[in-house]
Amino acid sequence: MSNVFGIDLGTCNLKVYSKHADQILKEKNTIAIVNKNQMYAFGDDAYAMYEKAPETIQVSFPVVTGVIADYNNMQTMIGSFLGKYSKSHIKGSEYVVAVPTDITEVEKKAFFDLFYKSPYKPKSVLLCDKPIADAIGLGLDVNEPTGIMVVDMGADTTEISVISLGGLVLSNLLHFGGNRMDESIINYMKRNFNLVIGKKTAMQLKENIGSAMPGAEGTMTIVGLDVVSGLPIQMEVTAETVYNAIKENMNSLCNAIKMILERVPPELAKDIIASGIYLTGGGSEIDRLDILFKELTNIKVNTCEDADECVARGLSQVIKDAKFKHLAYSMRTKVFK
């Protein structure tokens, strides 16, 4: 018996909705390679090796800035991932794949071919624009003639979109996300405290005590390398330090949201003011980010639980609910009209 899968290939996390199991499966979008092309581990197991593996094991992220950078390894990983969770339901299955909007047709085709040309012989492969899946995952009816503004903050990209009547009115894909904030924290710690920390530590600082606004409280003890002595040292970092490190990133994001709002047609702007801006994606879980955006725009900001699973939830509705089915399209008809 074949299955239907809704696939969201995030830079940091791989989210898959399986119709047969009726659940969302999630693992880190990471792969560990030995001997240049042999898969050693994938998902959460591979991520545990990140920044800790010997030279013989290469740990990489197959998706970079929202597009597939390592096609072959990504295809191998997807096959292993689906095999791990739904052993007998892969061959002849149907796939609905979420794709970012502001990417080229060649990059979009890579998402399509990843499944269409795969060894597990799919019955069909359909694509769905990520912001639309996002809005459906928030429980909104995108088919209505009502303006919806969604800000999806991922690891490498932030997608700001305005949706109406099942289509995109405006969309802007920024090459900015959670990873950029991690880099800012690493640079700030090195510049101000002579402390070298890893990406995982920076990510933990951001998630545990990071805040989009000043005045946050909290501390976290980390270990890094002292630039002067070269030895590992322990240090207590405050929430204010993390805020200062990511302050510039927050300003860039605010400016991008302002620019999109300035381009929104007046009638849709009225809808956005009534319903508010919707924040999704793993990067949106930073403390007080919604308050920052509300202060900036004077528009209410809606957040959701499990924000990084929002697209996968939307894909599950596209698969199950007849009124959303038309929002998924085939690459071939789209390209060769």
- Region 141-303: CATH code: 3.30.420.40
With 0.85 as the threshold, say if the pTM is over it: yes
CA dihedral 200, 172, 130, 13 (to 10 degrees): -10
Query: What pLDDT, on the 0 to 100 scale, is given for residue 228?
Result: 94
In 3-state terms, what secondary structure has residue 207? Answer: helix
Mean pLDDT over the full length of the chain: 93
- C-beta of residue 252 within 8 angstroms of C-beta of residue 176: yes
Question: 170: Cβ–Cβ under 8 A, 6 or more apart, which residues?
Answer: 160, 161, 162, 260, 263, 264
The kind and range of the H/E element at 23 are strand 23-28
The neighbour count for residue 187, using CB atoms within 10 Å, is 12
Give the relative orientation of helices 199-209 and 239-263 as an angle to the nearest 10 degrees.
80
In 3-state terms, what secondary structure has residue 155? Answer: coil
CA dihedral 52, 9, 20, 327 (to 10 degrees): 170
pLDDT digit string (tens) for 161-207?
A: 999 999 999 999 888 899 999 999 999 999 999 999 999 999 999 99
Q: What is the DSSP letter of 329?
A: B
pLDDT digit string (tens) for 260-308?
A: 999 999 999 999 999 999 999 999 999 999 999 999 999 999 999 999 9
The distance between the two most distant Cα atoms of the chain, rounded to a whole number of Å, is 64
Look at residues 77, 87, 93, 94 and name the one whose alpha carbon lies nearest to residue 40: 77
Q: Between 3.30.70.100, 2.40.50.100, 3.30.420.40, 3.40.50.2000, what CATH number should domain 4-133+311-335 receive?
A: 3.30.420.40
List, by residue range, all CATH 3.30.420.40 domains of the chain: 4-133+311-335, 141-303
